[in-house]
Amino acid sequence: MKNIKNIIKNIAFLAVLTTAIIACENDFASVGSDIIGGDNFNTANETFPIITHNKRITPLQSSNLPNYLLGYFNDPVYGGSTANIVSQMSLPLFDPVFTGENQSVVVDSIIFTLPYFSDAIPGTNIGNNIPEFSIDSIFGDPNNPIRLSIHENNFFLRDFDPNSDQGNDQIYFSNGSTSETDIIPQSLLEGELLFQNNNFFPNLRQITLTEVDQDTGEIFVTQRLTPAIRVRLDNPNSFWEDLIFNREGQPELSNRNNFNDHFRGIYIKAEPVNDNGSMTLFDLSNGNITIFYTVQDNSNNTTQGSPESLILSFTGNTVNIFNNDFIPLADGDPQNGDDRLFLKGGEGSMAIINLFNGDENGDSSEFENFKNSFIDGTNIKRLVNEAFLDFHVDQSIVQGEEPDRVYIYDLNNNIPLIDYFLDQSVTVDSPEARNIHLRPLTRVDNDPNGEGLTYRIRITDHINNLILRDSTNVKLGLVVAGNVDSGSVLDLPLLDENQIAERVPIGTFLSPRGTVLIGNNTNDVSRRPVLRVFFTEPNN
C-alpha cells in the first residue's frame, strides 16, 4: 500500500508541476516588464547561510532493482564493502519434455554468463578485427582479483510479506534482512558449491565461441559475445540432471511457484583477495545459465539428434546483500550543523540541508526575512536570476575515486526538486545529463582524473517557488549518485523509516563511491556551503 501511495504522490506532483511552471512563467513575465523595461535596474548577488549535517543511511531495500552490484570495493576513507547477489531463476517454459520412450539426457556442460556494461571502441583492433571494449561501471582496479563462488541457494525468496495485512510485496534489505529482526541465514545461501575461483579477474575482452568442422578439422567462429563473466559450472553428483531433467513430468517443473520452491536459485558470492578487489554493476536480465545436453537412446547408447540447450534466466526475486566494514558513521548535529559532510553510497551516509534554519515545518524568522526581501504582498521587489548551492571537497581527507555527481531531493516528499524537471541540458541523446541543475564535479585543470574541487547545484526554480508560490521550505537530502537519470531517482525505503530520511534514490544505492565535503560548521569561512542568489532589482 505504501508503494501505491508513493506512485500516486509522484503522479500528482507531476500533474501539479505543469500548472506551476505556467504560473511561474506568467509571474516572471509580468515582473520582467516592470523591471527590465529600461535601464532603471541593478543586478547583484547575496549569500545566505545554510545548516548541513550528516545522516547515516540505515539498511535499505535491495530487492527487485534495475541493476545489481557484485564484488568488493575498498574506499580509502570509509572502508571495504562486499556485494553479493541471490536470485531466483526460471525455466523458459513449464512442463518441459526432454526425452521420448527409452531415452535419457546426458548433460555436456553448464555455462554461467553475466555480461558487463560495455561498448566497442570505434577504430580499435586487437587482432582478427576484434575491437577493444570500454567497460562501464567497474569500481576499483579491475587488475585486483576477487574470490568468486556460485552456490545453490536454499533460502526461499517469497513474493509477499506474511506480516502485512494488505498483501504487500516482500521487501529485502541490503544487510540480508526481511525486517528489523529477521536475517537470511548465511548457511542457507551457501548450498551446493557450483563454481569457485580464488583469483577471479574481470574479462574485459570480446568472447569468441568456436566449433570444429568434423570433416576438415577446421576451427571456425560461431558467435562473438561482448565481455562478460562466462564460467563453466560444476555438476556435482549429477546435480543438474537431478534438479531438472530427472523431474520431467513431475510437479516440480509444472509451474513457477513449484519450480521456485524446488530450485530456489543461486547465490553469487564475492570476497576480497588481500583486502582488495573491484566491484561491478550488472543488469541480470541479460544473464543466464545455459545447460548444454544431448538425448541418448538407452537401447543402443547412441545420441539422438543434435546437441540441445536449456536456458535458465534471472527472473523473479533478486536481492543484493552487502557485508560492510566501514568506519563508524553517525548522525550529525541538526541544530548547529557539522564541519564535514560524509557522503557514501549504499548503506553509507548522506547530508541533510536546512535552508534558512527552518523548523520541522520549514518556518523561521530567517525564512520570512528572506521572502520579504524579494516580495511584499503582490509587489515583487527583486527578481531571482539564479540560485546555487556550492559544496567544496575536502581533499585533505578524500583520496581519489570521487563520484562525478551528487543528487539533491525533497526529503519531505521524496521527490526531485522542480529544477530537475526543468533542466534544459536533457535531450533525447543525453537523457542523463542534467548538467545545469546537478553540475558534475569540477576538478583541477578540468582533468577527468584530477582532484575534485566543487559540486554546484542550481536550485533557482526551487527558490522562486518558495518566494512566488508560497511553497514549503522543505528539508533537502544530498547524496552521491552513480547517475542522475530518471530511473536512478526512484526511491528505496530504509529499514528504519522512523527518521527524517525515510527513503533514498536508487542511484545512491548503486554507487559504492564516497566523498567528504566541507560543512557549514567549519572555521574555514570561505569554504562553507552557502545559498548564493543572483537577482535583479529596480533602482529606487
* Residues 35 and 537 sit within 8 Å (Cβ to Cβ): yes
Task: Report CA-CA distances (Å) from 57 to 61, 352, 456, 492.
Answer: 11, 11, 23, 11
- pLDDT tens for 170-226 read 999 999 999 888 999 999 999 999 999 999 999 888 888 888 877 787 888 888 888
Q: What is the pLDDT of residue 424?
A: 87
Bridge partners of residue 138, in order along the sequence: 280
Q: What is the pLDDT of residue 123?
A: 76
Determine the Cα–Cα distance for residues 266 and 314; give it in Å rounded to an integer: 10
Q: What is the pLDDT of residue 492?
A: 83
Q: What is the pLDDT of residue 173?
A: 95
Q: What is the pLDDT of residue 486?
A: 63
DSSP 306-359: EEEEEEEE--S-EEEEEEEEEPP-----TTT--SEEEEETTTTEEEEEEETT--
Bridge partners of residue 225, in order along the sequence: 207
Q: What is the pLDDT of residue 540?
A: 66
Q: What is the CA radius of gyration of the chain?
A: 28
User: Beta strand 41-56 with 266-272: parallel, antiparallel or unpaired?
Assistant: unpaired
C-alpha cell at 249: 513430468
The residues, ordered by sequence, that sit 6+ positions from 143 with a Cβ below 8 Å of its Cβ are 201
Give the start-to-end residue ranges of the domains of the chain: 2-60+327-538, 79-324
CA contacts within 13 A on the Cβ side of 56: 13
Q: What is the helix (H) or strand (E) element at residue 13, kind and residue range?
A: helix 2-35
Q: What is the pLDDT of residue 301?
A: 80
Q: What is the helix (H) or strand (E) element at residue 464, kind and residue range?
A: helix 460-468
Residue 110, exposed/middle/buried by CB under 10 A (0-12, 13-18, 19+)?
A: buried
Q: Which phi and psi (to 5°) does residue 139 adopt?
A: -105, 125
- pLDDT tens for 336-355 read 999 999 999 999 999 999 99
What distance separates the 2 farthest-apart alpha carbons in the chain? Answer: 105
- pLDDT tens for 157-179 read 999 998 887 888 999 999 999 98
- pLDDT tens for 119-156 read 888 877 777 777 888 888 899 999 999 999 999 999 99
Which residues does the chain have with pLDDT short of 70?
A: 1-39, 428-432, 486-490, 497-499, 540
